[in-house]
Amino acid sequence: MSYGYLLPITFVFGSISWRFLLATLYFPSFKYLSTVNLMKPLIAVHLFRYISWSLLVPGLTTAGQILPQSHIYRLAAGDITCSVLAMLTLFLMHKKSKYKYWAAGLLTVVGLLDLLLATIFDMPLFFENIELLDTRLFSVLTTYVPLVFVTHVTVAQMLLDVIRGKEIKGVIEEIAN
């Protein structure tokens, strides 16, 4: 019996769970904080994508038994690039740079493209070989990856609002000024 169907189901559950968590704890702050301050924690989530370096260590996870080495390199490169872009974006936001939204947009595009490539090329291999997944890798795929996806989509929605001229200034920032 194949249990590969558990991966997409748990990804959907993870995405819904993170969206509920954001809606419950985070979205009520929208009227109080500026767009930049709302984006910062969502972008900070991507700082930890450097963890994909672990894929490059033979035997540390079972990904090497499932995926071709070229897939491992692509996954690691995509995640490490997103980690660096998150650092750059947060730095530009801290410095109040006029390029902060460009950096956030680049992080979002690169991150969503990385997730799309992983979905197209890697997930089918994980489905077929789910019995080879170790707990760490399964946990990352069903908990952290949905968080990464949800934060990219949420930041993309915020960037669309900025483009439409609906940037949130935030009550707290207006009072402080």
Per-residue pLDDT, 97:
97
Per-residue pLDDT, 1:
60
Q: Which two tokens stand for residue 96?
A: 């109040």
Per-residue pLDDT, 33:
84
Per-residue pLDDT, 133:
87
Per-residue pLDDT, 173:
56
Task: Say if CB 29 and CB 167 are below 8 A apart.
Answer: no
Per-residue pLDDT, 92:
98
Per-residue pLDDT, 3:
78
Q: Where are the domains of the chain?
A: 6-176
Per-residue pLDDT, 176:
54
Task: Say if CB 39 and CB 155 are below 8 A apart.
Answer: yes
Per-residue pLDDT, 8:
86
Mean pLDDT by 10 residues, the chain (177 residues): 79 92 81 88 96 90 94 97 98 97 98 96 91 88 94 96 86 55
Beta-carbon contacts of residue 127 (< 8 Å; ≥ 6 apart): 2, 4, 5, 7, 8
Per-residue pLDDT, 32:
80
